[in-house]
Amino acid sequence: MVQVTELGYMGFGVKKLDEWKSFATEIIAMEISDEGERDRCYARMDYWHHRLVLHADGADDLEYLGFRVAGPNEFGEMQHQLSAAGIKFRVGSEEEAAERHVLEVLKLSDPGGNPVEIFHGPEVQYSKPFHPGRGMHGRFNTGAGGMGHCIVRQDDPAAAQRFYTALGMRGGVEYKFRMGKNVVSPIFMHCNDRDHTVAFGIGPQSRRINHLMVEVDNFDDVGLTYDLVRKHKLPVMITPGKHSNDHMYSFYFGNPSGWMIEYGYGGRPATHQSEYYVEDMYGHRPEAGGFGTEKEPKR
């Protein structure tokens, strides 16, 4: 079975592009790369051409997730695998691949309606060392684990689990949370040593995306970012703490689109065996808005 190897890039629609540019650089420490395109700009976290595309289209939501496969052979095999699983896709044109700065791209959609792209051959710019948007003690932890992880909306978590399994991911329930009268059992899927790359099943969400987690390789960058978030009076949604599943020390804060960034350090490698937890190791208390799982009307 061919497997996707990492979450390589993501696209977001934003209302306030200028606000996002200062947020991405001054708070998250990403590097903005503006290539003069009127409708978008790019955010870098490492040598890649980009990890985020910010589209100035007002959506304030996820526009696509880009999952990598190793190379052209796997790209071909993945198409057979998707067909065998009854998943519809189309092969992107040369222009569509060039738009994403990859060699080839497939376009499809997951059962929750989140646009998914499967690509190989990202443009990597070794001539352009990553230059963080503000001082950083270390660097973003990308590498073989990809750019991070995200929680996305799925109305049918079992169907979503089948979909991401067909992409070569593994995973299942890792938490059973009591929320009022209900028990929420989110599903966490991994495709490399990162504990999870995509997760879902947290209950109703007003947006496609709940949060994007980026990881740094120096603990002090979490403290620095926390101070900056407080200084800029951005909403802290979940206070610092440590998750039981990925052992990530992290906190969550609101971005200019109203969904969350999780800023983390020290995640442990995936155990590749199922376990579940009913609470985190410590911390992670809800603050402004909490985890964003309150019942909100869908947009």
Identity of the residue, 167 or 214, whose beta carbon is nearer to Fe ion in the bound complex:
214
Minimum distance of Fe ion from residue 90's CB (angstroms): 31
Distance between CA atoms of residues 286 and 4, nearest Å:
33
Using CA atoms, how far residue 130 sits from 133, 136, 251, 293, in Å, is: 9, 11, 24, 35
CA 171, 172, 174, 175 torsion-angle sign: positive
Minimum distance of Fe ion from residue 295's CB (angstroms): 21
Identity of the residue, 45 or 106, whose beta carbon is nearer to Fe ion in the bound complex:
45
Task: For residue 179, give the 3-state DSSP assignment.
Answer: strand
Identity of the residue, 151 or 167, whose beta carbon is nearer to Fe ion in the bound complex:
151
Neighbours of 151 (CB within 10 A): 25
Q: Are 111 and 157 in contact (CB under 8 A)?
A: no
Residues at the interface with Fe ion (CB under 5 A): 213, 262
Task: For residue 250, give the 3-state DSSP assignment.
Answer: strand
Give the CB-nearest residue to Fe ion.
213
Distance between CA atoms of residues 125 and 147, nearest Å:
16
Distance between CA atoms of residues 14 and 256, nearest Å:
8
Minimum distance of Fe ion from residue 149's CB (angstroms): 6
Neighbours of 71 (CB within 10 A): 13
Task: For residue 221, give the 3-state DSSP assignment.
Answer: helix
Minimum distance of Fe ion from residue 252's CB (angstroms): 8
Neighbours of 26 (CB within 10 A): 14
Identity of the residue, 122 or 250, whose beta carbon is nearer to Fe ion in the bound complex:
250
Identity of the residue, 122 or 148, whose beta carbon is nearer to Fe ion in the bound complex:
148
Identity of the residue, 5 or 245, whose beta carbon is nearer to Fe ion in the bound complex:
245
Q: Are 194 and 146 in contact (CB under 8 A)?
A: yes
Minimum distance of Fe ion from residue 285's CB (angstroms): 15
Identity of the residue, 42 or 142, whose beta carbon is nearer to Fe ion in the bound complex:
142
Minimum distance of Fe ion from residue 291's CB (angstroms): 10
Minimum distance of Fe ion from residue 217's CB (angstroms): 17
Distance between CA atoms of residues 193 and 270, nearest Å:
5
